[in-house]
């Protein structure tokens, strides 16, 4: 469910962040402390071309970007705010390649928040949540009021 406050945040991010547009990442869902985005298969994000006319495998960098983006979205959802934050640390453990030609789904949920940091966990899958292709853990630092 996308509430009125979060709708402009989602719309701005999806239409104005160049790497999100370039990769073709799409909004899928947002809840109280979770978010889901999708990365549809496209020839321009293939890292390992297929053989004999088969579709190739999506590059791991594109999947990493998907997971960083969905982690950030889950932080916005949990904070119920468009307030700024930045990726402080993000770990992605790849379990297997995405199936050639399949859309990759990225899901993230905030596990804990302090006054200055949100801790998230998530996973990427290509249609079967029980068979993830990557597991993600990360933390995002709140930037509002921070001095650079």
Return the CA Rg of the chain. 15
pLDDT mean across residues, the chain: 90
Q: Is the dihedral of CA 117, 142, 82, 104 positive or negative?
A: negative
Domains of the chain: 6-142 (3.10.129.10)
pLDDT at 147 over 60: no
Residues of the chain with pLDDT > 70, as a percent, come to: 95
The set of long-range contacts for 39-42, using a CB threshold of 8 Å and a minimum separation of 24, is 39/63, 39/66, 39/103, 39/104, 39/105, 39/106, 40/103, 41/98, 41/100, 41/101, 41/102, 41/103, 41/104
The reported pLDDT for the residue numbered 2 is 56
| Token pair 């990365």: residue | 39
pTM attached to this predicted model? 0.90
Q: What confidence tier does 148 reach under pLDDT thresholds 50, 70, 90?
A: very low
Tokens of 14: 């999806």
Tokens of 25: 């990442």
Residues of the chain with pLDDT > 90, as a percent, come to: 70
pLDDT at 146 over 60: no
- The top-scoring range by mean pLDDT among 40-49, 53-62, 121-130 is 121-130
- Give the residue from 95, 6, 75, 79 showing the smallest Cα distance to 35: 75
Q: What is the pLDDT of residues 101-145, one digit of tens each?
A: 999 999 999 999 999 999 999 999 999 999 999 999 999 999 975
């Amino acid at each position: 469910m996308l509430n009125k406050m979060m709708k402009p945040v989602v719309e701005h991010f999806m239409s104005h962040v160049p790497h999100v547009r370039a990769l073709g990442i799409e909004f899928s869902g947002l809840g109280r402390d979770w978010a889901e985005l999708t990365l549809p298969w496209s020839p321009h994000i293939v890292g390992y071309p297929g053989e004999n006319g088969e579709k190739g495998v999506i590059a791991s960098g594109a999947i990493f970007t998907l997971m960083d983006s969905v982690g950030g979205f889950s932080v916005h959802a949990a904070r119920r705010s468009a307030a700024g934050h930045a990726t402080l640390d993000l770990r992605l453990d790849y379990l297997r390649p995405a199936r050639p030609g399949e859309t990759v789904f990225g899901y993230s949920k905030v596990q804990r928040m302090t006054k200055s940091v949100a801790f998230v966990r998530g996973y990427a899958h290509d249609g079967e949540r029980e068979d993830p292709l990557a597991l993600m853990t990360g933390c995002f630092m709140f930037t509002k009021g921070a001095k650079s």
